[in-house]
Structure 1
């Protein structure tokens, strides 16, 4: 597939009409696609646990709002590290991606970018992420560096384990530790509970995402939670989401969140429940829409936790 124009080079599950396809210079488009800039849901899902953690830290500290500087750093870091992780994943998976309908249009398997150029682009993105990480305290830096282990091994787990989404959860939920560590220079039970909840959330929503590829994954021999759960797909996602809500609620309570925070957890739970009710085993298009809706679920929770910090700051 040629990258000669935006539509020919556009990746199958990217956002239609994205500015990458319309406005970006043509020579840059394959690299922006490699970094998933045309699929912003990825960096949103990486960012939101960071913001949850920062909001919980504000509640515990009695601050009137989450640290704006930390929120901004997490945004830049999430975009950079989502891009770096996706580039690394695509380098490792380029042969498998060529066998799957949804992924064979990606820049590496389609020949738009060479492996060597992709590796250089990976280094640039990782350096941006490192520059962001170095703005935090020493504990947060160490915690952030430790996230590289699950990131490094995840692309290979789909070859050897039936539930690779569990390793993805370890990586994508890591931000739930970062906001707390950035605020206090340590990790306390609320941060660990939030991390556990975020892991369950990731496994749930990525199982939904994997529904798109069930048939191709079966042919290519790629393992996924959607294949593992099969006819029990909705039950499995419901269990994951139930655990996510439970651990997030315990984290919020442990941090001292009040009624506004509890309401946010309830709305978060309702959103996840709606996803489960609408999930269908072989409905790939519907699964993609449900997966993307997790940005809204995560934003609801963050805004409620931030509002709880504001309320307590005013009344305290």
Structure 2
């Protein structure tokens, strides 16, 4: 076996699905698990829950790249991605998607009956996202909606039951993701308009889109404050929200669609920090303060 080739391919697939972006959904999934379990869940649930999350996310991201490969080829900003540059073959990506979706179904089945039954529905929902940009500017919210399945699914993994809290967490994730996806989408306003792709920036224009993103993030923070009262949390949780608010304000303050490096910081890097800050402060609040 050519181990160098295997390592190279693994690196290419990791870049294809932007594996580091797992930090967007994983922290909220962990919070959901801890609250659902009343502490740390069993290792069985944590391991299979993590495998399910990674399988679903990797499959969905790879499918999105596959579905958008023609548009990526036409867009100068994305023309260097793996499929346009033929760093990965279409067949390889299709196999990767199938394997990850199977992993997701198997992992969900190892958790409980509710997760097993809902796993095909989850695959359908996350796969459909790749086509929403063809017909609605609500695609950003739909993206947030499918990523919101992480904390909701995490709660189901622990309890096997529906509850109010995970859907609040899910809504928070949906608005947060949609908000910074709108910010990211401001880079492609003219391209989207020329190629018939729908987005909030291309439909409403730059200024209105940025105000919509601010509104989404404002409501997100208000819902996090609501959880402070609803879950009877402490001052440590509020410190996390304070830091997250400062980071969100910084994010909105540095937006310049014509500067890719700043846009990457605003859309991705700062949000990875935000989710980790909320996670750590919430866990410290739960285990050490409350």
TM-score range normalised by the length of the shorter chain: 0.7 to 0.9
Change (3 A) 1:41 1:48: same
Tell me which residue corresponds to 1:39.
Answer: 18
Separation of aligned partners in 1, 2:94 and 2:175? 31
Query: Which residue of structure 2 lines up, in the alignment, with residue 267 of structure 1?
Result: 243
In the alignment, structure 1 residue 251 sits paired with structure 2 residue 227: yes
Which 10-residue stretch deviates more, 266-275 or 173-182?
Answer: 266-275
Q: Secondary structure at the match of 1:205?
A: helix
Which of 135, 139, 150 is matched with 1:164 structurally? Answer: 139
Q: 1:38 and 1:168, CA in 2 relative to 1: closer, same or farther beyond 3 A?
A: closer
* CA displacement, residues 242-262 of structure 1 (integer Å, 9 cap, x when unaligned): 111122332343233222223
Secondary structure of residue in 1 paired with 2:80 = coil
Give the corresponding residue for 2:69.
94
User: By how many angstroms is 1:199 displaced?
Assistant: 0.5
* SS of residue matched to 2:284: helix
Partner of 2:265: 289
Q: Which residue of 2 aligns with 1:52?
A: 31
Q: Which of residues 189, 192, 203 in structure 2 aligns to 1:214?
A: 189
Are residue 228 (structure 1) and residue 207 (structure 2) matched? Answer: no
- Distance change (3 Å), C-alpha of 1:181 and 1:79: closer
- Tell me by how many angstroms 1:213 deviates: 2.8
CA distance in 2, matches of 1:134, 1:38: 24
Shift of 1:71: 4.2
Structure 1 unaligned segments of length 5 or more: list them: 1-23
Question: What's the secondary structure of 1:159's corresponding residue?
Answer: coil
For the residue of structure 1 that corresponds to 2:104, the secondary structure is helix
1:246 counterpart SS class? helix
Q: Which residue of 2 aligns with 1:306?
A: 283
C-alpha displacement at 1:286, in angstroms? 0.9
Q: How many residues align?
A: 286
Q: Distance in 1 between matches of 2:215 and 2:98?
A: 38
3-state SS of paired residue (2:15): coil
Equivalence for 1:112: 87
- Counterpart residue number, 1:20: none
Do the aligned residues in 2 keep the contact of 1:200 with 1:244 (CA within 8 Å)?
yes
Distance 1:140 1:275 in 2: 35
Moved more, 79-88 or 234-243: 79-88
* Cα distance, 1:86 vs structure 2: 1.7
Partners of 2:226 and 2:120 lie apart in 1 by 27
Say which structure, 1 or 2, has more relative contact order (CA 8 Å, 6+ apart).
1
Give how far 1:74 is off.
Answer: 4.1
Deviation of the 1:75 alpha carbon: 3.8
Deviations 1:33-72 (A, max 9, x none): 34536733322223233123123335xx3x3x46555444
Change (3 A) 1:250 1:181: farther
SS in 1 for 2:133: helix
Segments of structure 2 that go 5 or more residues without pairing to the other structure are none
1:130 aligns with 2:109: no
Structure ranking higher in helix proportion: 2
CA contact (8 A) 1:169 1:203 kept: yes
1:296, 1:46 → 2: CA distance? 12
Q: Provide TM-score, normalisation by structure 1.
A: 0.80
Distance, in Å, in 2 between the alignment partners of 1:37 and 1:112 is: 10
- Cα distance, 1:97 vs structure 2: 1.5
Distance 1:218 1:27 in 2: 40
Which residue number in structure 2 is paired with residue 197 of structure 1?
A: 172
The 3-state SS of whatever aligns with 1:36 is helix
Q: Is structure 2 residue 160 aligned with structure 1 residue 185?
A: yes
2:252 aligned with 1:276? yes
1:14 maps to what in 2?
none
